Copies of this chain bind each other. A is one copy, B any other.
Amino acid sequence: MRCVILGGGGFLGRHVGKVMATAGYELWCVDMCPPHGPESTPWFKGHVQADYWDVDHWWAECGEPECVVHLASSTVPATASTDPVSDVNQNLIGLLKLLEGLGRQPSAPRLLYASSGGAVYGIPQSVPIDEDHPLIPIGAYGITKVACEHHIRLAETQYGLQTRILRISNPYGEWQRPNGVQGVISVFAHRALMGLPVDVWGDGSVVRDFVYAGDVAQAFVTAAHHQGSARVFNLGGGGGHSVNHIIKTLEQLLGRHVERKTHAARSFDPPINVLDIRRAQEELSWTPRVAFEQGVAKTLEWLRVAVK
């Protein structure tokens, strides 16, 4: 099966590309950024430098793919809140153009969309959160994701696209930039490696759901040929880890103390957010296989080599 990864040069895009190539897919990368040299993402048959929504630009060049994985995003929760208009322009209007462009092709591909299990549900009414939990996002990023999900649902009848939405909790692993405003594991691991203190809001008891990005990638492989009636799947680590536990894990792996810089708790941080992943386990025959300590060790190893 021929598959295009929109945003294939990014953190998740690399994981999904690598795993899908191993599973036998012919893979193409569409990304605004140029490829970083032939070695960095050898699993792609080719790269097209284009806006993800500019289907006419990449469709033929990527060989009229049967599957499109949409991972392209230039915003994160913090930037979306600061500039919600840009977030809507890039992610919602971009998606509308993408759907219209895909619908115009003679053979409608299947679209796999990376949504956010951490952003679309808002403050959990019960934990673990299943896919039927109300969608009451508490930030601009999540509001846009919800709107995108609704439009993707309608695109099945409007454009004849097959779609699957994957609500990913907090993915982490190799290739996640450690100097961003997202990805607490990479950020903490990098600072710990550098001997710098890590920032903790409140007492560190806040629990989040982390899932190794290589595991997430495996779910895209099965979602590409899933035949059931479900359209939305949570992808999480199967349990939660507190901020304190992240730090303790790093201390154990590094064999030394990690200093904390403590700040006042943030009112908008729900105390716990853990996804119910039973639907993905049952319908996609998927389960996260990389244990938390093992995933954090992989992240540390990559940071040691790749990042100064």
Binding site for B on A (CB under 8 A): 81, 84-85, 88-89, 92-93, 96-97, 134-140, 143-144, 146-147, 150-151, 154, 158
Contact = CB atoms under 8 A, between A and B. Distances in A.
A contact face: mostly helix, strand, loop, or mixed: helix
Given A96-B88, A134-B134, A150 B154 contact: no
A136 B153 CA distance: 10
14 contacts: A81-B158, A85-B96, A85-B97, A88-B88, A88-B93, A138-B154, A140-B151, A140-B154, A143-B150, A143-B154, A144-B147, A146-B146, A146-B150, A147-B147
Contact of A135 (B135, B138, B151): B135
A253 to B, nearest CB: 38
- Copies of this protein in the assembly total 2
B89 A93 contact: yes
Contacts of A84: 96, 151
A289 to B, nearest CB: 33
Given A85-B97, A138-B154, A143-B147, 17 more contacts: A81-B158, A84-B96, A84-B151, A85-B93, A85-B96, A88-B88, A88-B92, A88-B93, A89-B93, A92-B92, A92-B147, A134-B134, A136-B150, A143-B150, A143-B151, A146-B146, A146-B147
A66 to B, nearest CB: 25
Contacts of A154: 138-140, 143
Contacts of A144: 147
Contacts of A97: 85
A150 B137 contact: yes
Nearest to A92: B88
Contacts of A81: 158
Contacts of A139: 154
A97 B83 CA distance: 10
Contacts of A158: 81
Contacts of A93: 85, 88-89
Contacts of A96: 84-85, 88
A150 B81 CA distance: 13
Q: Give me the 6 closest cross-chain CB pairs, A-B, nearest first.
A: A143-B150, A147-B147, A84-B96, A85-B96, A143-B147, A85-B93
A149 to B, nearest CB: 9
Nearest to A87: B96
A153 to B, nearest CB: 8
